[in-house]
Amino acid sequence: MLTQPTKGFYWRLLAALLIGAAGVFAFAPFAWFPINWLSLGGLFALLGAETEGARSPRRGALLGAAFAFGLFLAGVSWVYVSLSVFGGMPAWLAGLATLLFCLVLSLFPALAGALFVRLAAAGWLPRVLLFASLWTLAEWLRSWVFSGFPWLAAGYAHVPPSPLAGYAPLLGVYGVTLSAALSGALFGELLRVALRAPGRGREERTRCLPALPLLALALLLGAGALLREVRWTQAIGEPVSVALLQGNVAQEIKWRPERFADSLRTYYRLAQENPAQLTILPETALPAFLDQIPAEYLEELRKLALRQQGELLLGIAVAEGRQYFNAAVSLGSTPSQRYSKVHLVPFGEFVPPGFAWFMAMANIPMSDFTAGAARQPHLQLAGQKVAVNICYEDAFGEEIIGALPAATLLVNISNVAWFGNSLAPAQHLQIAQMRTLESGRMMLRATNTGMTAIVDVDGRVRSTLPPFTRGALVDEVQGYSGATPFVRFGNWPAITLSALLTGLLALLRRPL
């Protein structure tokens, strides 16, 4: 029979799982960002309970893992959709693969939970700082270990209107994560004090007044709100007319040979009906290699671009010998230019060693691309210096700034039709909002089925097309010059600060 402490821990484990799952409501499409503070604050309180009495880093790891497993299982369930519904994988294997994927992602918060229980010192301030720094380091590790999966990092919940968005140009998404984890831990500390105070004497309650945590929280949020008013970059040149084309070609029919001509007609008609100086087609808009597209069709697209003395950017696969690249190719008034995707998606765009058997059970066309060169020049399009990124490359902010501060405009082309009518398209748009804040540049997003959008330099979505509709998003956009602190220094200030805090608090730790 289980002892009472063990039973109590199992209830805390269940609470961590549910709190983590509820945390998904802080992210798009719900975007209730205060839930992120409550969710992280709940985890902080649960981990804090493990530091009272006999410390058990193992239990801390289990609580961190349960919280993360709940978050990822609720937040990236679209992995199952891509593998089973569109990838053709047996449902049982797709489900198992999704569960294992979420478990692997949970290892990083598990490490943070174990270290927190092991290192936490007495006093609210060391605990709050330790929790925030460990959580930030765990999310940063997740962004590059095993090629990286930074999706649902806490910072992404805090695009406008969150006051914490003001920290993004300074410290990037992990600086925002640090501020979000600090805010959450402060909420957790306030909750802990409020719950304990009623059972204490008057003098003890006075000592427990949460004035300092409340003041720290107010200063953190207030500073972020003030930083939102700072403009780090400046408009340069004249506005440019753009047309972002959304063909809405269903993923299940896109690669059928009999639908090829229809795809060509769809995008030609959209470009023809929506003239602009810069026309952008989504990732792999035309389901073939570039050299398989009729030369006369490409010439007609080029002529459409020339009507405005402009350019057309086409997402398409390019073959070179036995290698092929996920690329964006320009047609128009300047000689053709190309960007080849650098950060490929494991299992979706390349097969990790030893997993050929796994991919054989799925039906994912073009799932073995070659990565493009790490450093590629920006594209000169319609008078703008354009930094192109393809699909989930825009989830890696430090890679995006490689083309800055020279580039004046960011362009993302994506095909998230693989994930159907799930949370993925809205979450991806939220990630793009963070990139504009970090870089001080506008972002143009052309997608196959949604969400095609223009994100302004302040991180707000200016305009968007409804998902799963066919159309063009036409507007004028502005190029920007200059560099935010994040463009100059990348993630290192936030990560260095988190590492120094963790090291210092570990050294200063004293027994409770």
Question: Whole-angstrom Cα distance, residue 75 to residue 56?
Answer: 29
User: Highest-confidence range of 121-125, 359-363, 383-387, by mean pLDDT?
Assistant: 383-387
139, 189, 283, 349: which one is catalytic? 283
Alpha carbon of 400 to those of 448, 454, 472: distances in Å? 22, 17, 25
The question of whether 102 is a catalytic residue gets the answer no
Q: State pLDDT tens for residues 127-185.
A: 999 999 999 999 999 999 988 899 999 999 999 999 999 999 999 999 999 999 999 99
Tell me if residue 270 falls in helix, strand or coil: helix
Q: Phi, psi (5° rounding) for residue 153?
A: -60, 140
Distances (CA, A) of 21 to 111, 140, 157, 276, 444: 19, 21, 14, 43, 31
What's the token pair of residue 354? Answer: 């030893």
Q: How many CB atoms lie within 10 A of CB 236?
A: 13
Helix/strand/coil for 480: strand
Cα 100 to chain centroid, rounded: 20
Phi, psi dihedrals of residue 170, rounded to the nearest 5°: -85, -50
Q: What is the pLDDT of residue 245?
A: 97
How far lies 429's CA from each of 4, 123, 416, 423, in Å? 46, 40, 11, 10
**DSSP 8-class letter at 352:** -
pTM of the model: 0.92
- d(CA 240, CA 234) in angstroms, rounded, equals 16
Active-site annotation holds for 254: no
| Close Cβ partners of 357 (under 8 Å, ≥ 6 residues apart) | none
pLDDT band at 360 (very low <50, low <70, confident <90, very high): low
Domains of the chain: 4-231+491-508 (no CATH), 234-483 (3.60.110.10)
Pick from 69-73, 97-101, 187-191, 245-249: least confident = 187-191
Q: For 397-426, what is the mean pLDDT?
A: 92
pLDDT score of 206 more than 80: no
Whether 271 has a pLDDT exceeding 50, the answer reads yes
Mean pLDDT of 338-356: 72
Averaged pLDDT of the chain: 90
Q: Which residue has the higher pLDDT, 282 or 213?
A: 282
Question: Which pLDDT value is given to residue 196?
Answer: 66
Q: Which of 50, 189, 385, 391 is catalytic?
A: 391
C-alpha pair distances (Å), 238 with each of 134, 233, 334, 439, 478: 45, 15, 19, 20, 7
From 139, 294, 231, 217, select the one nearest 456 (Cα to Cα).
231
For residues 432 and 443, the answer to whether their CB atoms sit within 8 Å is: yes
Strands 323-332 and 461-464: unpaired
How remote is the C-alpha of 443 from its chain's centroid?
Answer: 14
Nearest alpha carbon to residue 435 among 407, 469, 467, 463: 407
Quickly state the pLDDT bin for 209 (edges 50, 70, 90). Answer: low
What is the rounded distance in angstroms from the CA atom of residue 456 to the CA atom of residue 106?
A: 33
Catalytic residue among 341, 385, 393, 438: 341
What interhelical angle do 57-75 and 4-22 show, nearest 10? 30
Give 464's pLDDT tier (boundaries 50, 70, 90).
very high
pLDDT > 80? residue 287: yes
Residue partners of 333: CB distance under 8 A and separation at least 6: 305, 306, 309, 310, 311
The answer to whether 345 and 391 have CB atoms below 8 angstroms apart is yes
Look at 109-118, 250-259, 442-451, 496-505 and tell me which has the smallest mean pLDDT: 250-259
